[in-house]
Amino acid sequence: MNVTIRLKNIYAGKMKVWPVVSKNLQDMFDYFEREYKSADYLVGWVDAFASGNSLGRGQIHKAVHLKKGEDPDFPENCKLERQNLPSTFLGIIPKSWMWLFMIPFANNLGMRLVNFAKFVSGYLTDNKPYLQGHAEYAFLLDYVPNWKFMYKPGSMIQYQSFIPKENAVDAFSEILKICQKRGIVTWLAVFKKHKPDPFLLTHALDGYSMAMDFPVTFGNRKKLWELAGELDEIVLKFGGKFYFAKDSTLRPETVQRAFPKKNLETFHSLKRKFDPKGILETDLYRRIMGIW
């Protein structure tokens, strides 16, 4: 197997980052459409608890690579030890303990407060650029090692849908509203822009995605899976796609409706040709493709 990887030249160990408050989902979408050509990276955090005119409010982080000569500590800033995230909070508390402080907020009321506080505090730094390392920008959640432990004794799943650009605001607005109506609101929602690719069963399209983290407990699992089915219908209605790598809830009939029949038939033809004995099969494949 030969693999060709396209790399990008960089001239700094840090990037220039603009944090920008967005008042609602439409505001966030408009900013992405306006700024994506001038940004190297764009990511949006969404407060999924907000409603009304504030539905989908949040904060955007726009990042741009520094130009040659703009980083006085280059190439030192590119060394691994400069890119590692700090191991302590305020230089005292080990980061590995930080998830313990999150446990009191690991509920809907707590996360509503956390999301509200994050949104309000965003105005303190709104549109004030700063320098940030590549790892710091790309792996923000890893500032709190083992953050997933706050979901104990349960777990979590992520639901990520991809919607064409022209339908993104309507689709994600409907998704946020139905989550609120069902009383199962994502604790963390991330908004990103994507471009299409030519692959057979791709999730990629000219549009946007929203990834949503949901806690899974013994008490909410059935309702959560039912909610995921409702969200699937919204995604299909607006011509969207699903990301298999993050999926835990899709059904075979949903997959058949999400992709062209020709693409599915081609995939299964290749599967029968190169794996006639069905050796190369995952639980995901058996769950969403097993009827073929």
Q: Walk along the chain (292 residues) and give the pLDDT tens digit of each residue.
A: 899 999 988 999 999 999 999 999 999 999 999 999 999 999 999 999 999 999 999 999 999 999 999 988 888 888 888 887 776 665 666 777 777 888 888 899 999 999 999 999 999 999 999 999 998 899 887 777 788 888 988 899 999 999 999 999 999 999 999 999 999 999 999 999 999 999 999 999 999 999 999 999 989 999 999 999 999 999 999 999 999 999 999 999 999 999 999 999 999 999 999 999 989 999 999 999 866 5
User: Does residue 230 lie in a domain region?
Assistant: yes
Domain that holds residue 115: 14-249
Q: What is the pTM of this model?
A: 0.91
User: Does residue 37 lie in a domain region?
Assistant: yes
**CATH number, domain with residue 136:** 3.30.70.2520
Beta-carbon neighbour count of residue 214 at 10 Å?
A: 23
User: Does residue 272 lie in a domain region?
Assistant: no
Range 99-102 contact pairs with CB under 8 angstroms and sequence separation of 24 or more: 99/144, 99/145, 99/146, 99/147, 99/148, 99/149, 99/150, 102/144, 102/147, 102/150
- Residues 41-63 as b/e (b if ≥16 CB within 10 A, e otherwise) read bbbbbbbbbbeeeebbbbbbbbb
Are 43 and 60 spatial neighbours (Cβ–Cβ below 8 Å)? yes
Q: Please state the domain count of the chain.
A: 1
User: Does residue 135 lie in a domain region?
Assistant: yes
